[in-house]
Amino acid sequence: MVIAKWIGLGLLMGGAIACTPQSTAQHTTTVPTAERFGQVPGVTVLALESLPEPVMGQVVYVPVYSAIYESNRDRTFPLTTTLSLRNTDREAPIAIAAVDYYNSAGELVSGFLDQPVQLDPLASTEVVVPKEDQGGVGANFVITWQADTPVSAPVIEAVMVSTSSQQGLSFVSPGRVIETWGFD
């Protein structure tokens, strides 16, 4: 099975997770998964060896903007990004296998998981990229999720926000499925 091979590749070498099935890039997180998600209600940090055999899943691309152009190409307005991961299934959990953040040049900036996490039915969690990050106008996340039973697809989107003086700006960027398996 292709996805099982990919997950196996992604979980090699100390829990580093590949960002796409074609990649064997290895990286570490700045904050361990257990520390980042260990106390979040509805989220369970999974041991690498307990990741269930996937029946279905997706790789989702989410365009994000750590900055946008303010008046011209030389002047940008920095934004804080919140990536929201929401399990929409009312009965079954899903596992998030990878949350990788890339800059405008397509270079991996950070992997947010060194272990997979499980989202309980209707549970959600988030990852925040502060406005001081310089991912650029073309920054993005690539998220891989899977389930060991048929489920409804999660909602994965980013909310960008910033305020300065009396000026405020916020908008949402929906995720786009770039790979899928197990859906009829």
What is the distance between the alpha carbons of residues 60 and 174, in angstroms, rounded to a whole number?
10
Number of domains the chain is built from:
1
Q: Which residues contact 34 (CB under 8 A, 6 or more apart)?
A: 45, 115
DSSP lists the bridge partners of residue 99 as: 143
**Residue 138: inside a domain, yes or no?**
yes
When the pLDDT of each residue in the chain is averaged and rounded to a whole number, the result is 83
Q: How many CB atoms are closer than 10 A to CB 148?
A: 16
**Residue 19: inside a domain, yes or no?**
no
Residue 23's SS3 state is coil
- Residue 183: the pLDDT is 81
Residue 18, pLDDT > 90, answer no
What is the distance between the alpha carbons of residues 125 and 142, in angstroms, rounded to a whole number?
16
Q: What is the pLDDT of residues 164-183, one digit of tens each?
A: 778 788 999 999 999 999 88
Q: What is the pLDDT of residues 96-148, one digit of tens each?
A: 999 999 999 999 999 999 999 999 999 999 999 998 887 889 999 999 999 99
Q: In the structure, what pLDDT confidence band is assigned to residue 4 with cuts at 50, 70 and 90?
A: very low
CATH number of the domain enclosing 173 = 2.60.40
Cβ proximity of 98 and 174 under 8 Å: no
pTM: 0.82
Residue 162 domain boundaries? 27-181
**Residue 5: inside a domain, yes or no?**
no
- Residue 29: the pLDDT is 56
**Residue 14: inside a domain, yes or no?**
no
